[in-house]
Amino acid sequence: MELKQLRIFLAVAEELHFGRASERLHMAQPALSAQVRTLESRLGVKLFERTTRTVSLTRAGEVFLPEAKATIAQAEAAEAAARAIGGGGGDLLKIGGVDSATAGILPQVIRAFRRAHSTVEVKIFELLSAPALHGLSNRSLDIAFVRVPPKEEFLAHRFVFSEPIMVALPADHPAATDTEVTLDTVAAEPLVIPTRSHRPILFDVIHNHFVQAGLTPRILQEANERHMIIAMVAAGLGVSLVPHWVSQFQRPDVVYRPLKGGGPMVDVHVAWRRGETLAAVDSFLTCLSKNGSLITNHSQ
């Protein structure tokens, strides 16, 4: 199995469109499709369901997606580490974890870190919690941001922040003009959320909130990538419940509103190896603490 095939699979999985994936990778579409077929043949399973109008991940594709992301991230981290040592440069800091951190708070914190430690090269990888913790174990990551505190003895951790779950609505929805949206309103609409296999913690937080309220959500379709979820909301196919950080992706046909009475919260913790000798890890953790106001401003 080649990394090229994994990157092609990832592009198609994120775009859910062979044409857009081929444009993104600057490949001819027939060549891209052939690589996907070769990968499916090697694995012995179908990764995508294809019709004349839609492309979707199969169950096998959904399970394969986070593993493919983790493999690509580990390969890129290994390549960066080798180049850094070969080039005689400064430290290399490899950071990975959940999207609330990698796309939410990390850009701001890393800017502050780089101002104080300009010789440290920083690589960032978006991974689910389990692959991120595995990355700490096999040293393809130095720092991981995860949803729950790790239980492994060799890992240290601390709480970083909590953020509320928000409602994403089509801009023309009747509740879009309200300052808050009730859970009853959400339960009455088709709901677009990630699959449990892809984001088990977020899925359980949302599902348990409905259960505690004595409501049953009308799950229309499970989509794993944030851009697909928001695109489906924009198309008027349903509403969604998303972590607060997603609301930074503004578009005119989608609005974000808090849940009335307060919605559930999702946490982010930072983890690292105990006894870590890489000085950049301690420096980054110190910077993370000093820039707590950036985190608070983002998550509330």
CATH of the domain at 23: 1.10.10.10
Can you give the pLDDT at residue 99? 83
Listed as ranges, residues in the chain with pLDDT below 50 are 87-89, 293-294, 296-300
Instruction: Please report, in angstroms and rounded to a whole number, the separation of the first and last CA atoms in the chain.
Output: 43
Residues 271 and 156 in one domain: yes
Can you give the pLDDT at residue 142? 93
Residues 141 and 210 in one domain: no
Kind plus residue range of the DSSP H or E element containing 170:
strand 155-170
Residues 155 and 186 in one domain: no
Residues 92 and 218 in one domain: no
* Dihedral angle sign, alpha carbons of residues 24, 26, 28, 31: negative
Can you give the pLDDT at residue 225? 74
Give 147-173 pLDDT, tens digit per residue.
Answer: 999 999 999 999 998 899 999 999 999
Please name the residues in contact with 181: beta carbons below 8 A apart, sequence gap of 6 or more: 167, 169, 175, 257, 258, 259, 260
Residues 94 and 119 in one domain: yes
Q: Using an 8 Å Cβ cutoff, are 191 and 217 in contact?
A: yes
Can you give the pLDDT at residue 298? 46
Q: Pairing state of beta strands 155-170 and 265-273?
A: antiparallel
**CATH number of residue 246's parent domain:** 3.40.190.10
Neighbour-count burial of 258, counting CB atoms closer than 10 A to its CB (0-12 exposed, 13-18 middle, 19+ buried):
middle
Structural domain boundaries, residue 81: 66-160+267-299
* CA 95 remoteness from chain centre: 13
Residues 93 and 186 in one domain: no
Q: Where are the alpha helices (DSSP H) in 95-148?
A: 99, 106-116, 129-137
Residue 274: which of 157, 171, 179, 167 has the closest Cα? Answer: 157
Residue 12: which of 74, 73, 54, 63 has the closest Cα? Answer: 54
Residues 43 and 189 in one domain: no
Indicate the DSSP class of residue 182.
-
Residues 155 and 294 in one domain: yes
Indicate the DSSP class of residue 53.
S
Q: Using an 8 Å Cβ cutoff, are 7 and 76 in contact?
A: no
Q: Where are the alpha helices (DSSP H) in 16-118?
A: 18-25, 29-43, 59-86, 99, 106-116
Residues 142 and 171 in one domain: no
Residues 88 and 209 in one domain: no
Residues 85 and 129 in one domain: yes
| Paired residues of 239 in beta bridges | 191
Q: Using an 8 Å Cβ cutoff, are 12 and 39 in contact?
A: no
**Domain tally for the chain?**
3
Measured distance CA(278)–CA(275) in Å, rounded: 9
Token pair for 231: 């695109």
Residues 133 and 46 in one domain: no
Count CB atoms within 10 A of the CB of residue 187: 16
Token match 């951790």: residue?
Answer: 157
Token pair for 287: 């910077």
Count CB atoms within 10 A of the CB of residue 26: 6
Residue 226: which of 251, 208, 262 has the closest Cα? Answer: 251
Residue 287: which of 278, 295, 297 has the closest Cα? Answer: 295
Please name the residues in contact with 111: beta carbons below 8 A apart, sequence gap of 6 or more: none
Can you give the pLDDT at residue 221? 65
